[in-house]
Structures are given as C-alpha cells and as structure tokens.
Structure 1
Amino acid sequence: MAALWAMPAAAQQTQGQASALVLEPMSLTNIEQLDFGSIIPSGTIGYVTVAASGAVTTSGGVIAASGDARPARFAGQGSANRVIIKTGSSQIFLSGPGAQMRVDDFEIGALTGLSQLGNGNNYRITDANGIVGFAVGGRLRVNANQAEGDYSGSFSVTFNYQ
C-alpha cells in the first residue's frame, strides 16, 4: 500500500515591506463669522443668501438693511499636495427672541492654497507650506414677520485627509 502522508516541503522564508506616511495634523481656525447682516422681514417667508464670494441676495420680500453681511472666513494648515475631504453641517438653526431661523445651502469658496477636485467635497492642498484659507457662505430662511432681535448659532466645517 502506498503512503498516504506527503512529506512537508522545506520551510521557506521571505521578507515583507512596511511603510508609513506621517502627515501634518490639520488645523483650522475661524477668522470671521458668517453674518447675514441687518435684515427687515416681510409678511411672507424670505431668504438672505451670503455667497462665499461675499455677494448678498434676498428674496421673498426680505430687505437687506445694511452692508455688513459677510461670509465666514477660515485659515489653517495641513500637509502639502494631500487630498482632503470636507464634511460639516448641512443645516443649522439660529436662535433668538423669536422663532428659530434655518441656515442651509452652505458653500465653500474664495479658496487660498486649495483646489477643488471635481464637483464634490474633495480638495487638494496646493500651497507648498500647506497653508489654506477659504470662505463659507449660506442661506438664511427668514420667517414671516420674524421677531426683532439678535439671533445666533454655530456650524461646523471639518477637513479630513483622504
């Protein structure tokens, strides 16, 4: 009868490779807040939009009563030539003496040291020192006959290495 057990081959050894890429931790600082300025509501729902470029538009009978509206501005630093992805708030609410007002349609623009990749939320850090800057605009929904007073809220912008 033939042997049913095969003889093991001689042990073999090989080398594998290991590597690591150390990146500069991302840092972001809010330089200016998103400000929709002084507005006068109407008897119907209206909107105030502050673009990342600084352009201000209104609709629905809302009147921009001052020229002090402006986008938020951020500055930061990361590793040069790395791709990052933006996440953050999709909508927030401003609270004050009257009904809350919704802010949505956040947009990033006025890029410094960053280039957008496609139409999504991906960006490449293009500054050789990794220094970045950008503005954030948004759209405020003003309720009909909104109560007078100061309203505020906060939103988040997060960049992560991809």
Structure 2
Amino acid sequence: ATAANPTASATVDAELVQTVTLVKTVDMQFGKVALTGEGIGTLVLGVDGVITPTNLFVPTTGNLTPTAAVFGVNGLSGTAYTVSIPTGTIPLTRQGGSETMDVSAFSIKLATQALGVLTGTIGTDNTFAVGATLTIPTTQAEGKYTGSFPVSISYN
C-alpha cells in the first residue's frame, strides 16, 4: 500500500481601500499688522481664526480676514487616519526681498476631536484646521511675506 501525501491549505486575503486624499480648502492668513517698533512680537493664530497679538502689535485686518488653514480628507468611511503637521519653524519671505519671519508652534483641530489630537476617522473627521504663531522681529521690513508648510495624512 502507498502512503497518502499529506495536504494543507491556506487562506488568501486581500483588502482594497479607496485612496485617501487630502485637499487644502483655505490658506492660512495672519492678516495685516501695524508695526509698532516695540520689540519682538508674535501673532498667535488659533485654529478658530482668532488672532492673539503680543507686545503691542496691532492686527489691522483691512480686507484680509485672519483664517486658519483648512484641509479636507476623503477616503474609505470609518477608516482611521493620522495627520502630520510641522513641528519646527517655517520661514516666510518678503515678496521682492530676502527678509524672513518665522511661523512655528503649529496647532491642529480635527472636526470632532479635541485640540491637538492628530488622529481622526474618515466620515466624522473630514476636515481639520491648522493654526500657528508668527514671530515678528523688532526691525522687520514692511511688505507682504509668504511661504508654505507641509501637511500629510496616512491611514492607520
């Protein structure tokens, strides 16, 4: 008699998920600021768009309303994701010049999460806002300053 050849099987699985997308819907705007020459100052832009100045810097928004940056997230509903925002400083450069100012202390608020929570769920946290702090040196040149900062998301 011949011996039977033992056999076994394994399950094969694959899960396809919709690509997660991230879209900026609103740019960050600190607005216009009156220079006072009173020393280094800061403008703290909250995730709600509210500006808190220090050292006698006076926001004079004119036709520029301060706004936090806002991003939209789309993907497979119910899937958790994590947001990465800058942890260091990002320079803003004066248009037509080389002078810079730094933006730092980035903050985040996902739609249904507490301030500072970086993890959300697609379907309930489809938007998030990012605020930051702008440091204005004592002798900063007048003008418009621009820059950009990276934001990324990943599925958990």
TM-score of the aligned structures, taking structure 1 as reference length: 0.80
Q: CA deviation at 1:47?
A: 0.6
Q: Deviations over 1:13-35 (max 9, x none)?
A: 21111212211111122122100
Alpha carbons 1:53, 1:110 under 8 Å: kept: no
CA–CA distance in structure 1, aligned partners of residues 16 and 66 of structure 2: 40
Q: Report % sequence identity.
A: 25
* CA gap 1:88/1:19 in 2 versus in 1, 3 angstroms: same
The structure number with the bigger radius of gyration is 1
Alpha carbons 1:98, 1:147 under 8 Å: kept: no
Single out whichever of 46-55 and 66-75 deviates more from structure 2.
Answer: 66-75
Q: CA deviation at 1:72?
A: 1.1
Alignment of 1:125-144 (within 5 A): 125-127=122-124, 132-144=126-138
Question: Are 1:16 and 2:14 matched, yes or no?
Answer: no
CA RMSD in angstroms comes to 2.4
Unpaired runs of at least 5, structure 2: none
Give 2:93's aligned residue: 95
TM-score of the aligned structures, taking structure 2 as reference length: 0.83
Aligned partner letter, 2:99: A
* CA gap 1:122/1:30 in 2 versus in 1, 3 angstroms: same
Alpha carbons 1:75, 1:132 under 8 Å: kept: yes
Unpaired runs of at least 5, structure 1: 1-8
